[in-house]
Amino acid sequence: MKKTALLHRLVTVAGLATALLPISVLAASGDLYEADPGSDMILKFTPAGTQSPFVSGLSGPFGLAFDSSGNLFEADLGSGTIFEFTPDGTQSAFASGLNGPIGLAFDSSGNLYEADQFSGTIFKFTPDGIKSTFASGLNGPVGLALDGSGNLFEADYNSGTIFKFTPPGIKSTFASGLNGPVGLAFDSSGNLFEADQGSGTIFKFTPGGIKSTFASGLNGPTGLAFDSSGNLFEADQGSGTIFIFTPAGIKSTFVSGLSAPSGLAFEGAVLSTPTVHLANISTRALVQTGNNVLIGGFVISDSSPKQVLVRAIGPSLPSVIPNLMQDPMVSLHDSTTMEIASNDNWQSDPNASQIPMQLQPHDPRESAILTTLQPGAYTAIVSGKGGTTGVALVEVYDMDTAAASELINISTRGLIQTGDFVMIGGFVPDGTSNIEVLVRAIGPSFAAAGIPNPLPDPTVRVFDANGTSIGFNDNWQDSQGPEILATGKEPTNNLESAILLNLAPGSGYTAIVSDKNGASGVGLVEVFKLQ
């Protein structure tokens, strides 16, 4: 079905009238900038709605995006140019010779992505202006938006599709069957909002792709942008209006009487590193001796120190669990395997009094280490005092999630059996935005490392805090193979398992690892935070 574009100027792709332009930005504060192709101007609005011209004399301005220095970039459709404007309005050409530049978005590294509508291409520009092709063969690329994990989402107008591209450029379909998708914008919870121009609707998609109607009855919705309070601003091209929607969907008029409002961007609105961390990892398993002790690994990123709390829990676990370890010990090792700390009974640790009350073990025989570590890889080994065995829990807590450094990879290796003796890994994302993680279950590849009795065919199932299963995998290549491969963290054995998940912060998740056929062996559960 032919789609009707509501812009002041029209361009066609493959014979279809293609509506021009969304711009997507994350929450920001400050003045709102609007690309108005009807008047060839960029207009500026204060939070109170006071209007003033920012620049005039353009040729079909549509896409807008701010870099981290406060410079405004504009996709000038008519001239095939991306212009850069300093905060005082000084204009220069950033890139020229393009074929229908229309959508713009910056990633957290300062690279600019441009939807080149007539060539069906997304180009990537480094901060120095070096151009490369990120994706091609598209059908009317218009709107662009990046999520907190660096995945690029593209509104493909003519195909009625939203495509998702991983940072290396692996393409998948996020949503289809739309009617002229144009503007894209993410809220702080990772939900994607889409201006569906052909249907006059704004749709909302959860991180998992579940679609709902946020607003309807609009007249050519085009550009979208969130302010710092979570209000959604919408450029309604057909009515010449910018509407505001509260998070609850209550609509009001911000400004009216415009010529053809299209791209929107808030001053200072750039994609920043998401404020979300892996705050806690814990794994429960049957702890034996030798190669079958419980081994927890974690990696601290960035360049600043991080305070962590490492605990070994046994006797205070629920009594319904059989064969609890009665006296667990924990030792902490750096990447050279050197032991840097150890503890038997937590109250004997020099820093015991500094452990927050709610994190102090409930039994004096349990162990804890509170320490500050430099960035790098570390291993916590839990064993039973005097060679005893039993079910125990190893835990690592991030005690300073506000620090620049963070826990980016957490894993635990141990003996996996059946029933109460499967491996149960728990982790808690903490922050204000969603987190994308890769959960892996490893076993067969341990044979090449000389570890005896590897788990032959591990499976992994992930549950949310309500006990609802949100993901299962047996062999990692079965369902998300290309996406997992693109992370560079794919398992080395086809029988091993992995799941990519986009998760909300603030509650715990559980990953259970067991063998597909009920076998026993040494396995590993692992959680990566993807950048």
Residue type, 99: N
pLDDT on residue 150: 84
Least Cα distance to 63 among 132, 125, 135, 149 occurs for 125
Q: What is the CA radius of gyration of the chain?
A: 26
Least Cα distance to 182 among 148, 229, 147, 145 occurs for 145
- Beta-strand ranges (E) seen in 1-97 are 11-13, 16-18, 32-36, 41-45, 51-55, 61-66, 72-76, 81-85, 91-95
Is residue 226 within 8 Å of 198, Cβ to Cβ? no
Half-sphere exposure of 443 (CA within 13 A, CB side): 30
pLDDT on residue 455: 93
> Cα separation of 253 and 251, whole Å?
7
Q: Which two tokens stand for residue 440?
A: 């892996």
The full set of domains in the chain, from first to last, is 11-266 (2.120.10.30), 276-529 (2.60.120.380)
pLDDT on residue 33: 96
Residue type, 233: F
Least Cα distance to 38 among 21, 26, 50 occurs for 21
H or E segment to which residue 483 belongs: helix 481-487
Is residue 416 within 8 Å of 423, Cβ to Cβ? yes
User: What is residue 290's three-state secondary structure?
Assistant: helix
pLDDT on residue 335: 87
How many other C-beta atoms are found inside a 10 Å radius of the C-beta of residue 89? 12
Listed as ranges, residues in the chain with pLDDT below 50 are 1-29, 270-274
Is residue 156 within 8 Å of 177, Cβ to Cβ? no
Is residue 32 within 8 Å of 273, Cβ to Cβ? no
pLDDT on residue 408: 67
Least Cα distance to 307 among 186, 396, 422, 409 occurs for 396
DSSP state of 516: T
